[in-house]
Structure formats: structure tokens, C-alpha cells
Amino acid sequence: MSLRRHLAAVAGSAVLCLAAAGLAPSPALAAPTGCTAWISGDYAYSTCTSGTGEHSVGVEQSHPLANPILLTGGWTTVGGVSSVRLMPWPVKRIWVNRRG
């Protein structure tokens, strides 16, 4: 067997072993879709209904003596709810951060 064929056979075997062990490359993540953000009481929330990435809620509030205050909730998977506690100042905007 030539060296080239031997290397090709070894490389092919390695790929098969990795795939069998579950270490093959995973499918690409898709950014979440179907996302909504809302405020209830002293908290802001977000959730997404499809995709395979993660999301978190984002909030901008205005402070009378300082720059805008930016708050973000924790990252969570699709179907989960991200939340962040609001400060006692007016909310300027709310959005959903997406990654994946």
C-alpha cells in the first residue's frame, strides 16, 4: 500500500471514530426567532419560540443625572425566559439580544 493510500485510510478511520464517539462537528446554530420582550412590575423579560441559539433581554433606562443605564438579562436557550430587574427610572426602550 502506498503512503498516500495509507494516510487516506488512517484519516478516514479517524473521522469515522470521531463521528461514532459523538465528536463530529455539530450543525450550525440558528439565531432565535419569534422573540418578544415585555415589562411586568419591576422586571423586563424576553422569550423566543424557534431557532437553536440563545437570547437575553436588553433594556435602556434614563437617569436624570447620569448617562443612560443599559441592563441585560442572562442568556438562555429558545423556549426559556431571560429577565432583569429594572432600576427606578423611566424605560426608554426594550429589546431582545440574539446569538447563535
**How much is the pTM?**
0.70
pLDDT tens digits, one per residue of 70-87: 999 999 999 999 999 999
CA distances 41 to 14, 16, 36, 47, 89, Å, are: 55, 54, 17, 17, 13
Alpha-carbon gap, residue 53 to 82, rounded angstroms = 13
Q: What are phi and psi of 8, to 5 degrees?
A: -65, -40
pLDDT tens digits, one per residue of 2-58: 545 543 454 444 444 434 444 444 556 689 999 999 999 999 999 999 999 999 999
32 in Cβ contact with 54 (< 8 Å): yes
Residue that has been written with the C-alpha cell 446569538 in this structure: 99
**pLDDT given for residue 29 in this prediction:** 66
**pLDDT given for residue 89 in this prediction:** 95
